[in-house]
Structure 1
Amino acid sequence: MWWILVAIAALAVGYWLLIRPHRYWLEKGVKQGNPGFIFGDNWGTVLRKQSFADMLEMVYNVCPNTRYTGIYQFLMPTLIIKDPDLIKQITVKDFDHFVDHPTLIPPDSDPLWGNNLFALTGKKWREMRTTLSPAFTSSKMKYMFTLISQSGEQFVKYFLKQDQDLVTIEMKDTFTRFTNDVIANTAFGVECDSLRDRENAFYMMGKEATDLSGIWNNLKIFGYILIPKLFKLFKIKLFSKKIGDFFTNLIKSNIQSREKHGIVRPDMVHLLLEARKNGLKHEESEPVQDTGFATVAESEINKNPTNAKTEITDQDITSQALIFFFAGFDTVSTLMCFMSYELAVNPDIQKRLIEEVDETLETCKGKLTYEALLGMKYMDMVVSESLRKWPNPIAVDRVCTKPYTIEPKYPDEKPVHLETKAVIWLPTFGIHRDPQYYPDPKRFDPERFSDENRANIKPYTYLPFGSGPRNCIGSRFALLETKTLYFYILSHFEIVPVEKTQIPLVISKKQFNLTAENGFWLGLRRRSKV
């Protein structure tokens, strides 16, 4: 009889540990889908049956006409916030309850990751964000525009020198080389030409640092989700020692050289050194010129200096430069890739954009200026629609930092009490493809963002850079970098489909990041100048 008792006990323990957790939202009166055993709603991505974007869209639509939906990251309950008004309530009005991102890797396990702006929490995040905020204003972008423009000119000269009518390239590889050079130049003070010097140390280290497709990297991410205490015990780092040492030594030697020789460059290292020495002041008012529809305004919370002066160490500068690199290397190049694809398969849209490029080039007499670039309305419409249809990141997370209650709004709702450490997601990909906000959402239509139509976009349904005080600090930089490169490309080339182009594009199921299944193979066809 004892074995029967053991079996009953084992079943009870198994139910308590592996099955009951997936009833968490039901017990709170929150609708949910059908999570898979152990894997929860991640089963499709783990088995590579679904891309992360497909999974997000699935859970967004699983319970229609609800303001929120419960899902499970393996056994961890996560609340999907779908209602725009509730998104505003949580991310702006009640921001003090949702200040932080979930801590994936503890700071003491990997200080290089743990000290960057994305990973910092609470008071430390507030102090660092307030310190860095002035470095990302429109005037500072104008300050760095010269370096970005130089990289754009360098990019097109490389392909013009090939003296071919049509050059076939894989856009992801090509654009990451451009974003690598821009970040190296503007964030680290290092000049690179990764199209010519294809295996330069900076590019190879950056590629390794941002590669999340390998088995070991996937295991590290899943490990910190499933068994965080064990991974913390062994201090398993996101970045390898080789990567950490490379970027740390690069920043230290760069700082020493600048301080010794009095070198001043219009880049991020200089701005951070100025913040360390004298502090940076947020401008009283932004320039009148619009920096783009997708630009997220800096919250007043982040403009107000804290009482205590933040000490900025060399490691802090390295961490901020590295997260700037990490974000810029992959996410900006991803935006560029999807925009290239859409221009190639929508030649009428590309033709209109080329006409605006030519008009702007004539207006500024052959030399692109910061003001002329920001004045390109159709360019901004195309970039905005690219971010709408192909947002990266696919979802934005927040963690509840103090207990919070979502009050009921409709008869079938009841109060939802969120405990400290509860995780929520803003499902950007799902909202951007919701037909109630964007009719015919899979159609690429820049006219959604025309002066006449942009007022019809419901607030908090367009979230390519997040929402509230914890939005992406680098939105202006990302938009400036993208527009600059496309200006130079379309001045000389048309982007066209080639034999290897996958039409329609299929999202890869093998990577967390948003990317194409067979790569972004497209052609640069030299324009005939009449």
Structure 2
Amino acid sequence: MVSDPELIKQILDTEFRSFADRRPPPIDVKSSFSFILPALTGGDWDRMHRIYKYVFTPENELKIIPKVNDCCDQLIDAWNQRIFDKDNEIDTDVSLRNLALDMIAWTVFGTRVSPEFTEGTRKLTQCLLPMRFIMTLFPKTVERMSRTIQPYVDSHDKYFLDYLNQEIILRDRNDDCGNDFLQLFMNLRKSNSFGQLICSANSVPDVDLLNKQEMIWQLFTFPFWGFESMSATLGFALYELALNPDIQDRLRNEIITICDNHNNNNRSVNINSFDKLIYLEAFLLEVHRKYPVFYRLSRRLTEDAVVGADTGIVMSKQQIINIPVHALHHNPSYYPEPQLFEPDRFMPENIVNIKPYTYLAYGSGPRQCIAKRFAQMQLKLVLCRMLCEYEFYKLIDTTVPPVYRKNPEAVTVSQPLVLGIKKWIQN
């Protein structure tokens, strides 16, 4: 376990190549998730990482973000109906998981949520994550059962494999060009100039480097990594707004002033104003500080390396290093009164006091979250829409503090975050 910021800087940034790989599964049980970007190593990761850079460009993200607005419309309609029916209580876990699921379906796969899509995602996130946990705790037992486990793992890919194979054939036949991540990957698969650029960087023959199977594998990254993280982060954000009405009012005032979105019937938000929402930026940074998506980051040495200039510690190739993100974010030496939710920590006049490499919500260095900018854009848009429509408040049944699930990987709650909701009326 490494918690010294200077050593973290060495591992994640300055000597990245010596610590380039993530922690692998304890045993070799193959699934589509063995080939997604976060699981790749060495040259395979280098190549696919360059491909992702062509997907996650500001231009591409701005084309897709209106679909997030569509998903917000559906959630707002549902919440308005609840309020009309005199039901002013929301379970954030249910509501925001539905929203996150709809956003993934619409922005990634170009479809709206269906019972089949919901069940397919449930299998991916609710079955394979516990499987990884079991594999970590009982690797020898799982290894002996690998032949039995493999069909179980394969069965959880089936819905998305079938859907993507059919959708790609349909789009190829109709030359369909939807604004979604599936289409972006398909465009790169067809682009000669892109193929030549990747080839020249790798010194390999000029071939169709992003083949259909690879494209399908990469699309699995979105529901597997994006679903739980998006819904959990939004849930904690609304929770803190309900517990801190002064912060909620300040945030809403900034959004209304900057985005000029004072009309409750106006369902548009000026995305170009996001850079001016300084307090919203600080608010989200504080949400990720107090509730990071993952408890830790892991890296595997790709070669023998000395950790720290003066330590004399030599670590061997293949060894695993863990970085305790949650502990860093709650260390009072770096964040005074860490249990206090205080967005002002990250306002421009204060953020300069935060020690580098003590804030790792999205990681750092070349292997930080490549979808960081798009994820932040989604979070800002959703919160802008919600705060221009509603007030959130604490109920008797609101659990304070949250009760966390005993999960060694992700920061999630075991009891629902139940909040009150009512229409916001401008004075």
Same fold (TM over 0.5): yes
1:375 aligns with 276
Question: 2: CA distance between counterparts of 1:466 and 1:480?
Answer: 18
1:157 to 63, 77, 90: 77
Superposed, 1:306-317 pairs within 5 Å as 306-308=202-204, 311-317=209-215
1:125 aligns with 45
1:351 aligns with 249
Q: What displacement does 1:452 show?
A: 1.1
1:258 aligns with 171
1:428 to 313, 320, 325: 325
8 A Cα contact 2:295 2:409, kept in partner: no
Of stretches 489-498 and 211-220 in structure 1, the one that deviates more from structure 2 is: 211-220
Is 2:7 the counterpart of 1:86?
Answer: yes
Question: 1: CA distance between counterparts of 2:399 and 2:415?
Answer: 7
SS of equivalent residue, structure 2 residue 156: helix
Question: 1: CA distance between counterparts of 2:241 and 2:404?
Answer: 18
Deviations 1:269-317 (A, max 9, x none): 1111122111686xxxxxxxxxxxxxxxxxxxx9x94333672232222
Q: What displacement does 1:495 show?
A: 1.3
**One-letter amino acid matched to 2:67:** L
Is 2:283 the counterpart of 1:390?
Answer: no
**One-letter amino acid matched to 2:230:** V
**One-letter amino acid matched to 1:84:** P
Of stretches 120-129 and 481-490 in structure 1, the one that deviates more from structure 2 is: 481-490
Q: What displacement does 1:223 show?
A: 3.3
Question: 1: CA distance between counterparts of 2:43 and 2:126?
Answer: 31
1:230 to 144, 149, 167: 144
Deviations 1:484-522 (A, max 9, x none): 111111111111112221112232236753122322111
Q: What displacement does 1:227 show?
A: 5.3
Question: 2: CA distance between counterparts of 1:434 and 1:252?
Answer: 47
8 A Cα contact 1:135 1:280, kept in partner: no
**One-letter amino acid matched to 2:203:** N
Superposed, 1:400-439 pairs within 5 Å as 400-407=301-308, 409=310, 414-439=311-336
1:170 aligns with 91
1:525 aligns with 422
- Among the aligned pairs, what percent are the same residue? 25
Deviations 1:312-352 (A, max 9, x none): 23222222111111111101111111111111111100111
SS of equivalent residue, structure 1 residue 471: coil
**One-letter amino acid matched to 2:353:** N
1:337 to 228, 235, 246: 235
Label 1:512 to 1:88 Cα distance change in 2 as closer, same or farther (>3 A): closer
8 A Cα contact 1:165 1:525, kept in partner: no
Q: What displacement does 1:359 show?
A: 2.0
Question: 2: CA distance between counterparts of 1:362 and 1:119?
Answer: 43
1:481 aligns with 378
List gaps (5 residues or longer) in structure 2.
none
1:241 aligns with 154
Q: What displacement does 1:357 show?
A: 2.5
8 A Cα contact 1:112 1:315, kept in partner: no
Deviations 1:135-165 (A, max 9, x none): 1122222121111111112211221133146
Question: 1: CA distance between counterparts of 2:110 and 2:6?
Answer: 42
Q: Which of the pair has more CA radius of gyration?
A: 1
Q: What displacement does 1:466 show?
A: 0.7
Question: 1: CA distance between counterparts of 2:10 and 2:212?
Answer: 37
1:461 aligns with 358
8 A Cα contact 1:258 1:264, kept in partner: yes
Q: What displacement does 1:378 show?
A: 1.4
1:206 to 111, 114, 121: 121
**One-letter amino acid matched to 1:415:** G
Question: 2: CA distance between counterparts of 1:473 and 1:239?
Answer: 30
RMSD of equivalent CA atoms: 2.5
Superposed, 1:64-83 pairs within 5 Å as 80-83=1-4
8 A Cα contact 1:399 1:422, kept in partner: yes
Of stretches 141-150 and 511-520 in structure 1, the one that deviates more from structure 2 is: 511-520
Label 1:238 to 1:497 Cα distance change in 2 as closer, same or farther (>3 A): farther
